[in-house]
Amino acid sequence: MTNPPENTEPTHLDIGLGAESRRIAMKLLPAAKPGLPTLVWLGGYRSDMSGTKAVELEKHAAAIGAACLRFDYSGHGISGGAFRDGSISRWLEESLGVVDHAAKGPMILVGSSMGGWIALRLIEELRKRGEGERVAGLVLIAPAPDFTSELIEPNLTDVERTSLAERGYFEEPTAYGPEPYIYTALLIDDGRKNRVLDGIIETGCQVHILQGMQDPDVPYAHALKLVEHLPSDDVVLTLIRDGDHRLSRPEDITRMLAAIDDMLAG
């Protein structure tokens, strides 16, 4: 019998060499039934694997007998590394390292906000390696691909541009906690190198996007734009009229888990 999710103990994986080494914390719930894809959680910017959606995902995995893999990017949660050193490339490297180490067999990637961008880049890198078949499904929750160039850069104020140039970062108040969000020049510059909305995105799997229409951070028009870049995939877009960015209400969790179950049902 598997341990209940709240008792899943973290393990660690070292990613990178020398000064670039950072210790990544992860939690793996083993499968109780063979043959089911591993549910892999990819969190958002400044979030961690202890959030509501991640925990509920693991509880659902335990209920159906699937494996579940959660982890914290460097600078997030209980992983090592400095947040200000983070970038999409860095967090993608960690995601690849974790799934290569801990996710055996097929996976369903569940990406929230920035995690949706990481998920799309992760699939791209796996397909380059000839391993695209490892991804059996993709559930994106308020996905924010290319958010640095699509959502942040066009809206920078003169003060923020000056701060980026002089200090290498700027701060922005957030409704999700007392501390402001920090956006670095490194993150923004690296984001341009990881764009996915420049052409056709091929995932080779089912895609289900959940998007709130009252999302103040990622407008639902962004999800519509993403769908346009997925012309060859089986895509379902669910617009939630009263949904916010977090989409962590009980009814939102139900939608997330139903999307996963639909993929498992084939």
Summarised one tens digit per residue, pLDDT across range 237-265 is 999 999 999 999 999 999 999 999 999 99
Pairing type for strands 169-172 and 181-184 reads antiparallel
pTM, full prediction: 0.95
The CATH number of residue 92's host domain is 3.40.50.1820
Per-residue pLDDT reduced to its tens digit, 151-197: 999 999 999 999 999 999 999 988 777 889 999 999 999 999 999 99
3 vs 132, more confident? 132
Cβ–Cβ contacts within 10 Å for residue 206, how many?
Answer: 19
Given a cut of 80, whether residue 7 has pLDDT beyond it is no
Concatenate the DSSP letters of all residues of 58-102 into one string: HHHHHHHT--EEEE--TTSTT--S-GGG--HHHHHHHHHHHHHHH
107 with 99: CB under 8 angstroms? yes
Average of per-residue pLDDT across 106-123: 98
Given a cut of 50, whether residue 229 has pLDDT beyond it is yes
191: its two tokens = 């984001």
Confidence band of 2 (pLDDT split at 50, 70, 90): very low
Which residues make beta-bridge pairs with 169?
A: 184
Write out the residue range of the structural domain in which residue 213 sits. Answer: 5-264
136 with 117: CB under 8 angstroms? no
| Number of structural domains in the chain | 1
From CA 116, how far away is CA 114, in angstroms rounded?
5
Average of per-residue pLDDT across 80-96: 97
Closest CA to 209 of 100, 109, 62: 109
Three-class DSSP category at 182: strand
